[in-house]
Amino acid sequence: MMAFVKLIARNRLAAFGGIILLLIILLVLITPWLPLADPNVTDTANRLLPPFSDNHLLGTDALGRDILSRLLWGTQISLAVGLAASLVAALVGSTIGIVAGYFGGRTDNTLMRGIDMLMAFPYILLALAIVAVLGPGLMNALYAIAIVNIPFFARNIRGVTVGIAHREFIDAARLSGKGNLRILTSEILPNVLPVIIITLSTTVGWMILETAGLSFLGLGAQPPQADLGSMLGEGRKMMLNAPHVATVPGLMIFLLVMSINLLGDGIRDALDPRLKSGALSRPAPFTRIRRRRNSLPDPVNGNALLSVERLQTDFEVGHETYRAVNDVSFAIHPNECLGLVGESGSGKSVTALSLLGLVASPPGIITGGRVALEGRDLLDLPPRDIRRIRGKDIAYVFQDPLSTLHPLFRVGDQLVEAIRQHQPMSHAEAHERAVSLLEQVRIPNPERRAEQYPHELSGGMRQRVGIAMALANDPQLIVADEPTTALDVTVQAQILKLIQSLRREKGSAVLFITHDFGVVSQICDRVAVMYAGRIVEIGPTQAILDTPRHPYTRRLIDCVPRLGEPDNEPDAIPGLPPAANHIPEGCAFAERCHLVEDACRQGDIELIATDADRQVRCIKPLSVTEPSTPGVSR
């Protein structure tokens, strides 16, 4: 709660609105005890006194009534009626919305068609009609405003409820023995409550205006009772000779509605999860770079295609710094496939995205290191040059092709766009090339498929399109981020085979990111194992699989169930990886390692070379002579 108040207070405008609203409410609450004239006592002798007269701070109206007194009492009534109408509308509308969204089907249809009928009329007309039927009066105006606003709540809440009603935790609640009513009140309501509050906070202002509108027309508060609308209506007749009579209530309406709307927007921003997560803050086209360390060694891998040296990427969220990539170095040679293996949160995807500055910024920052493509440091290049390299020299294949392909464009056109971005070509030529690319990734009927939209293709087909797009400009390096994880095993086999044969044909290098050692052993020449943002072991795939040097690698391989060996029970690693904002000193794996000793928790443990082409970050790497556990030794 305190955090919520703080969040609103950070928003200057919302805080300003909140303070004004608070002042008005305070003033209205203490009105009965203020030394004010009776708001309804007429005094024709002192009619239309200007503001700042004796005994009448804001003057008097046409019947000699004290305007200040009428203003405060009127504001009280307007506020009360507006709030009451909002609450009634929120209660009824939300109930309708939740019930319709949860039950769906016929219930939904009946309720929402009723709501649609309400919405078919212009709302002020509808409010007038309702008051006309019920007769003028403050209560009837309240009902009219409430009824007119029910659809806003019903539609909003229904939409949210539909999304929640199909979530798994609703099924789980049902299986826990909860009935429909209980699920509605204890499972769904807490999740839609923020939306109800958001809708409420953004409509209260409107409702007060609408109540004032009805009173202005003489359908709300009846004389002699004062509310803001009726005061405005009475003052309108003498705008020329006594402008203050209308201006004062007008100003109050303005202050009230403005403060409520400012506060309402603040509440919405504080509660809306999309706004909270910063979805509206536009990420920079290139990850922010703030490299402190300048003393990087000269590039060593002279013949490497891509060499990454001491790369470091942080996420800064609030006061916390999450070290996602911590001092990562590796090199990829032309036509080589390097596997980057690790569990979720190990930093493998962030490493891949950092290469071309694709980490969202904020919150991502590259704080150190060098990414050299054929000797050129990519992190030093201006954004324009980086854009020339993205998709041309280095191309990406992502995990979920459904979310990386644009749903509204034909796949052929998306390929054409990718080609023409980097190659001067006519549309027709590019289209021809797109079709031939689709053919290269073994899509049957490429001409017809090019005319289709992503949703018309199966998951395997979409991933083939994703690969075709990566191939569009004959890149030297393809970064494939879990390209087969979302696919079925038979489709995965096909995609792996495709990547293999394309690599042979095109001669491009591949950085293959995966969590699956099975996939690694199928496709990668070398493999780098990552843990808590660091590479803990790197070397040729077969050697690492046969004789892992780092205890983590060994145990990670051991916990993969092996097909065809039902008796080989996979061996779990106890515990959890460390949080990225609290990485311990020394070896990050020490907590979970069965071979840990005191020295493991001290100082910085460097990557050391154990064999000619292998490196491991461990002070006592598993030796070659150590007998391997059964099930892996084959």
Partner 1 sequence: MSAPLLEIRGLTRTFGGGRRWFRPNQPGVQAIQGIDLDVMRGETLGIVGESGCGKSTLARLLVGLDTPSNGTIHYAGDDLQQLRSQDRHALARRIQYVFQDPLSSLNPRKRIRDILAAPLYYLRGLEGQALERRLGELMEMVNLRPEFISRYPHEFSGGQAQRIGIARALAGDPELLVLDEPVSALDVSIQAQVLQLLRRLKDELDLTYLFISHDLSVVETISDRIAVMYFGRIIEQAPTYRLFRSPSHPYTRVLLDSAPIPGGPPIQAEAGTAELPDPLAPPPGCAFAPRCSRAQEDCRQAVPPLDNMSPDGDHRAACIHPIKETWQRIVTQSPRESRG
C-beta closer to partner 1: residue 420 or 449: 449
Q: Which of 7, 119, 573, 596 binds partner 1 (CB under 8 A)?
A: 573
What is the identity of the amino acid at 231? M
- Single-letter residue type at 269: D
Q: Report the nearest approach of partner 1 to the CB of residue 546 (Å).
A: 7
Q: For partner 1, which is the closer residue by CB, 215 or 553?
A: 553
Q: Which is nearer to partner 1, 313 or 484 (CB)?
A: 484
User: What are the φ and ψ backbone dihedral angles of 514, each rounded to 5 degrees?
Assistant: -160, 165
Q: Supply 214's token pair.
A: 């009805």
- Round to whole Å and give the CA distance between 461 and 372: 33
Tell the burial category of 417 from Cβ atoms under 10 Å away from its Cβ (0-12, 13-18, 19+): middle
C-beta closer to partner 1: residue 306 or 487: 487
Q: Which of residues 150-209 bind partner 1 (CB under 8 A)?
A: 167-169, 171-179, 187, 190-191
CB of 523 to partner 1, least distance (A): 9
Q: Which is nearer to partner 1, 68 or 338 (CB)?
A: 338
The structure tokens listed for 481 are: 């981020």
Query: Residue 409 CB, nearest distance to partner 1 (Å)?
Result: 22
- Min dist CB 150 to partner 1, Å, is 25
Residue 320 interacting with partner 1 (CB under 8 A) = no
Cβ-contact 72, 37 below 8 angstroms: no
The answer to whether 480 touches 304, Cβ cutoff 8 Å, is no
Question: How far apart, in whole angstroms, are the C-alpha atoms of residue 412 and residue 559?
Answer: 42
Q: Rule CB under 8 A: is residue 489 a binding residue for partner 1?
A: yes
Shortest distance in whole angstroms from residue 193 CB to partner 1:
8
Nearer to partner 1, 100 or 523 (CB): 523
Residue range at the interface with partner 1 (CB under 8 A); choices 6-14, 353-361, 483-491, 611-619: 483-491
The residue range among 140-148, 314-322, 368-376, 519-527 that interacts with partner 1, by the rule CB under 8 A, is 519-527
Does residue 277 interact with partner 1 by CB under 8 A? no
From CA 135, how far away is CA 220, in angstroms rounded? Answer: 9
Site for partner 1 in 335-374 (CB under 8 A): 343-344
C-alpha R_g of the chain: 34
Binding residues with partner 1: total (CB under 8 A): 67
Residue with Cβ nearer partner 1 (324 or 381): 324
| Interface region with partner 1, contact rule CB under 8 A, candidates 1-9, 300-308, 324-332, 496-504 | 496-504
Q: 395, 367, 361, 389: which is closest to 376 by C-alpha? A: 389
Q: How far is the CB of 510 from partner 1 (least distance, A)?
A: 16
Residue 4 near partner 1 by CB under 8 A: no
Beta bridge partners of 314: 323, 365
Min dist. Cβ of residue 340 to partner 1 (A): 15
Kindly state the tokens that stand for 99.
Answer: 């019930």
The token pair at 393 is: 């020299």
For partner 1, the binding residues in 443-462 under the rule CB under 8 A are: 443-444, 458-461
Give the Cα separation of 70 and 88 in Å (integer). Answer: 26
Residue from 568, 583, 586, 607 touching partner 1 (CB under 8 A): that is 568
- CA 386 to CA 354: how far, in whole Å? 12
Which class for 61: exposed (0-12), middle (13-18), buried (19 or more C-beta within 10 A)? Answer: buried
Q: x/- string (CB under 8 A) for partner 1, residues 527-566?
A: ---------------x--xx--------xxx-xxxxxxxx
Closest to partner 1 by CB, 315 vs 552, is 552
Per the listing, tokens 């704080």 go with 367
Shortest Å, Cβ 255 to partner 1 = 36
Residues 36-65 that bind partner 1 (CB under 8 A): none
Q: Which is nearer to partner 1, 65 or 592 (CB)?
A: 592
Residue the block writes with tokens 């004290």 = 66
Q: Is 105 in the site for partner 1 (CB under 8 A)?
A: no
How far is it, in rounded angstroms, from Cα 320 to Cα 304?
36
Distances (CA, A) of 131 to 137, 223, 486, 525: 8, 17, 58, 79
- If we measure between CA atoms, which residue out of 232, 190, 236, 212 comes closest to residue 141? 212
Our finding on whether 516 is near partner 1 (CB under 8 A) is yes
Asked if residues 287 and 357 have their Cβ atoms less than 8 Å apart, the reply is yes
Per CB under 8 A, the list member of 286, 330, 512, 517 interacting with partner 1 is 517
The reply on whether position 488 binds partner 1 by CB under 8 A is yes
Return d(Cα 330, Cα 305) in angstroms, integer. Answer: 11
Q: Judge whether 245 and 234 are in contact, CB under 8 Å.
A: yes
Residues at the site binding partner 1, with contacts judged by CB under 8 A: 167-169, 171-179, 187, 190-191, 343-344, 442-444, 458-461, 464, 488-494, 496-497, 501, 515-522, 542, 545-546, 555-557, 559-566, 568-574, 576, 632, 634
